[in-house]
C-alpha cells in the first residue's frame, strides 16, 4: 500500500510538472510539433552514471527551446527533478535488460526499464504516434490534450454536484434525527457513505486539475466550492459516533483510514461502513446518541477548543440541547456572550430542522 501511495505521489508531481502552462510542457509540445521523438529522464543522481553511455554533460538552465533543439539529436536527455536544468544530452540509456517490460518499441522499452531501475520518472515522446508517455516505476501514463481531460472532468464535476446534493439531504435528515434522539447505526452509515463518495469523486477531479495546469483554473474553483468542508464532516461523524472516545486519537484515525480503504463495492454495504466506524454491522437499527461535535461545528464563531470542552462537559448532544445559558457558562472558556451564542445557535438548528420537515 505504501509503495502504491509513493508511486501515485510521484506521478502526480510529474503530471504537475508537465501540465499546460509549464516550461516543460511547452518543450514537449515543441518536440511533438517538430515531429521528432525524445527520451527524457526526470531526475538525476550519481548512481545513474552507470546507465549513461556517451553524450555530454551540460548543466545549463532549462528552456523549452533548448529541449526542442537537443531532441533533434535523437538520443536521451537528463533534466533535474525541478525541471530547472538540462544535465545531459545526446546520451544513450543502457538499463538492465533483465528488467521486464510490456512495451514493444525501443524507446518505450528503455523508458520503462530506466524508470523501474532508477525510480525517476521517464518521459517518452513518440514521433510516430505523436504521443507523450510518462513512466513511473511500473506505471505508464499517456498525456492527453486539455479538451479530452476537461470533458471527463466536467462529467465528474456533474457527478460531484449530485453526490453533494444527496449528502446535504441525508445530513439534514441526520440532524433532525439527532435533535429528536432517534438516530440508528444505519442513519450514521448512510451519511458516512455519502461523505466518502463525495470525497472520492473530489479526489478524482483533483487529479484532473493537476493534469490540466493553467487550463484547470475554473474547474479548480468549482471543485473547491462544492467539496469545501467535507473532510471535516467525515471527522465530525466519526467523533460523534465512534465508540469509546470523541477525542482525537489513533482510534479515530484508524476509523477514518478504514472508511477510506473500503472498495467502491464495499462502500455500498452499510454493515461494512458501520464496522469501519466501530459498530457491529449485524443490527443496523441499534440506537446511537451523538456527542454533538457536528452540530456544534455549525455554531458560528465557536473555536474548536471551546467546542471540545463543551462536548467533554456535557457528554452528549441531548444534554447540550437541554442546557441553559448558566449551564453553558460552567464550561471553561465560555462566558455569557459565548454561552448565549451557543444556546441560540443550537436553537436555530433545531428550529430549522423542524421547518425543513414540514415545509
Q: Which of 229, 253, 288 is the last residue of a domain?
A: 288
Give the pLDDT confidence score for residue 123 in this predicted structure: 97
pLDDT digits (tens, 9 = 90+) for 32-61: 999 999 999 999 999 899 999 999 999 999
Convert 171-198 to b/e letters by CB count within 10 Å (16 or more is b).
bebbbbbbbeeebbbbbbbbbbbbbbbb
Residue 301 Cα to chain centre, angstroms: 28
Q: Which of 236, 263, 288 is the last residue of a domain?
A: 288
Confidence of residue 246 (pLDDT cuts 50, 70, 90): very low
Give the range of the structural domain holding residue 276, as residue numbers without chain letter.
Answer: 145-165+181-288
Mean pLDDT of the chain: 92
Q: Tell whether the model's pLDDT for residue 31 goes beyond 60.
A: yes
Report d(CA 206, CA 275) in Å as an integer.
29
Residue 237, domain CATH: 1.20.1260.110
Same domain (yes/no): 306, 344: yes
Same domain (yes/no): 259, 295: no
Handedness of CA 279, 226, 156, 129 (dihedral sign): negative
Whether 96 maps to a domain, the answer reads yes
Whether 42 maps to a domain, the answer reads yes
Same domain (yes/no): 21, 137: yes
pLDDT digits (tens, 9 = 90+) for 291-332: 999 999 999 889 999 999 999 999 999 999 999 999 999 999
Same domain (yes/no): 159, 247: yes
Same domain (yes/no): 215, 307: no
Same domain (yes/no): 329, 273: no
Same domain (yes/no): 55, 189: no
Residue 313, domain CATH: 1.10.150.20
Whether 172 maps to a domain, the answer reads no
Q: Which of 249, 271, 288 is the last residue of a domain?
A: 288
Whether 175 maps to a domain, the answer reads no
Give the pLDDT confidence score for residue 1 in this predicted structure: 41
Confidence of residue 136 (pLDDT cuts 50, 70, 90): very high
Same domain (yes/no): 262, 311: no
Same domain (yes/no): 99, 208: no
Same domain (yes/no): 10, 136: yes
The count of structural domains within the chain is 3
Q: How far is CA 220 from CA 56, 72, 165, 258, 343, in A?
A: 42, 37, 19, 28, 37
Report d(CA 180, CA 308) in Å as an integer.
22
Q: What pTM value is reported for the model?
A: 0.87
Same domain (yes/no): 151, 284: yes
pLDDT cut 70: percent of the chain above it: 96
Whether 176 maps to a domain, the answer reads no
Same domain (yes/no): 99, 154: no
CB-based contact 223:178 (threshold 8 Å): no
Report d(CA 250, CA 263) in Å as an integer.
22
Residue 278, classed as helix, strand or coil, is: coil
Amino acid at each position: 500500500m505504501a509503495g502504491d501511495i509513493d508511486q501515485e505521489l510521484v506521478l502526480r508531481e510529474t503530471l504537475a510538472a508537465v501540465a499546460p502552462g509549464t516550461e516543460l510542457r511547452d518543450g514537449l509540445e515543441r518536440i511533438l510539433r517538430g515531429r521528432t521523438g525524445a527520451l527524457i529522464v526526470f531526475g538525476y543522481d550519481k548512481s545513474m552514471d552507470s546507465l549513461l553511455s556517451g553524450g555530454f554533460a551540460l548543466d545549463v538552465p532549462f528552456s523549452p527551446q533548448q529541449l526542442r533543439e537537443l531532441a533533434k539529436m535523437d538520443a536521451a536527455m537528463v533534466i533535474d527533478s525541478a525541471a530547472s536544468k538540462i544535465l545531459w544530452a545526446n546520451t544513450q540509456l543502457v538499463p538492465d535488460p533483465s528488467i521486464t517490460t510490456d512495451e514493444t518499441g525501443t524507446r518505450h522499452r528503455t523508458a520503462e526499464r530506466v524508470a523501474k531501475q532508477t525510480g525517476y520518472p521517464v518521459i517518452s515522446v513518440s514521433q510516430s504516434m505523436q504521443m507523450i508517455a510518462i513512466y513511473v516505476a511500473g506505471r505508464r501514463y499517456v498525456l492527453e490534450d486539455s479538451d479530452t481531460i476537461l470533458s471527463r472532468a466536467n462529467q465528474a464535476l456533474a457527478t460531484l454536484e449530485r453526490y453533494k446534493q444527496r449528502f446535504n439531504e441525508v445530513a439534514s435528515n441526520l440532524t433532525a434525527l439527532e435533535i429528536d434522539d432517534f438516530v440508528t447505526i444505519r442513519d450514521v452509515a448512510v451519511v458516512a457513505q455519502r461523505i466518502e463518495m463525495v470525497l472520492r469523486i473530489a479526489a478524482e477531479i483533483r487529479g484532473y486539475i493537476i493534469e490540466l495546469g493553467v487550463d484547470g483554473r475554473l474547474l479548480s474553483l468549482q471543485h473547491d466550492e462544492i467539496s469545501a468542508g467535507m473532510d471535516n464532516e467525515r471527522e465530525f461523524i466519526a467523533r460523534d459516533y465512534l465508540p469509546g472516545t470523541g477525542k482525537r486519537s489513533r482510534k479515530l484515525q484508524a476509523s477514518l483510514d478504514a472508511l477510506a480503504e473500503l472498495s467502491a463495492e464495499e462502500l455500498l454495504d452499510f454493515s461494512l461502513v458501520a464496522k469501519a466506524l466501530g459498530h457491529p454491522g449485524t443490527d443496523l437499527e441499534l440506537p446511537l446518541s451523538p456527542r454533538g461535535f457536528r452540530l456544534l461545528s455549525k455554531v458560528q464563531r465557536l473555536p474548536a477548543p471551546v467546542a471540545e470542552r463543551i462536548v467533554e462537559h456535557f457528554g452528549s448532544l441531548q444534554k447540550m440541547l437541554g442546557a441553559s445559558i448558566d449551564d453553558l457558562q460552567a464550561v471553561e472558556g465560555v462566558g455569557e456572550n459565548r454561552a448565549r451564542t451557543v444556546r441560540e445557535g443550537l436553537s436555530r438548528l433545531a428550529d430549522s430542522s423542524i421547518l425543513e420537515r414540514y415545509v
